[in-house]
Chain A
Amino acid sequence: EIVMTQSPAALSVSPGERVTLSCRASQSISSDLAWYQQKHGQAPKLLIYGASTRATGIPARFSGSGSGTEFTLTISSLQSEDFAIYYCQQYNNWWTFGQGTKVEIK
């Protein structure tokens, strides 16, 4: 099983700040990596797939990068609606998720 490790577990950020979330795979997954956003009481929402391709309707302030085992999700200027939990997911060998990073208001 490929283990996905996200860091940090949580961070406090002020609106307008730049945010960088990390995700590491236990073995190479090429670019088979997605990012999801989950707000309280809602289903996850696909943000990024293929490590760097934004899903339909996702604002340009969300960007993804990386390949192999190290990946990053960047939110260029955090908006109030972006406070949520973010999960990475690999789909190179079946499917596994990271444990999530909670982005909280500072």
Chain B
Amino acid sequence: QVQLVESGGGVVQPGESLRLSCVASGFTFNSDEVHWVRQAPGKGLEWVAFISYGGQNKYNPDPVKGRFAVSRDNSKNTLYLQMNGLKAEDTALYYCARRLRSSHKAFDVWGRGTLVTVSS
């Protein structure tokens, strides 16, 4: 079935780095735009990265711009999020999500998330 599975979360200290992975299965990964969305404990959803199907277009919003970098390896059906200079406010559950196959850019498939904790 269509599935996204995140991994790579953990506990790190402020200023350290972490790379998250998201493995896709059950669909043609190289045809789909994918995203990272995070959710701080007890808080709402925050979009943090976008990458086009071929990887040529990427974008991060201001809170993570210059610190987070999204990439993908279509040969491995895998999405990545390289997170550098981590801050306490980056503590969250990180989800990968697939964009709907439509002119509408909602997210129709989500993983279960991987937890990142930034603490000294």
The residue of chain B having its C-beta at the shortest distance from the C-beta of A100 within the complex is B44
| B113 and A46 contacting across the interface, CB-CB below 8 Å | no
| B47 and A50 contacting across the interface, CB-CB below 8 Å | no
Size category, B interface: 20 to 34
| B108 and A55 contacting across the interface, CB-CB below 8 Å | yes
How many Å from the CB of A29 to the closest CB on chain B? 11
| A34 and B50 contacting across the interface, CB-CB below 8 Å | no
Those of B36-76 within 8 Å (CB) of chain A: 37, 44-47, 50, 59, 61-62
Tally chain A residues at the interface, Cβ within 8 Å.
25
Those of B100-120 within 8 Å (CB) of chain A: 100, 102, 104-108, 110-113
The residue of chain B having its C-beta at the shortest distance from the C-beta of A89 within the complex is B106
Q: Within 8 Å of chain A (Cβ to Cβ): is B80?
A: no
Q: Within 8 Å of chain A (Cβ to Cβ): is B95?
A: yes
Give the CA-CA distance A66 to B58 in the complex, in Å: 30
Give the CA-CA distance A47 to B100 in the complex, in Å: 12
**Inter-chain pairs besides A43-B112, A43-B113, A96-B47, 8 sampled, C-beta below 8 Å:** A1-B61, A32-B105, A34-B107, A36-B45, A38-B45, A89-B107, A98-B44, A100-B45
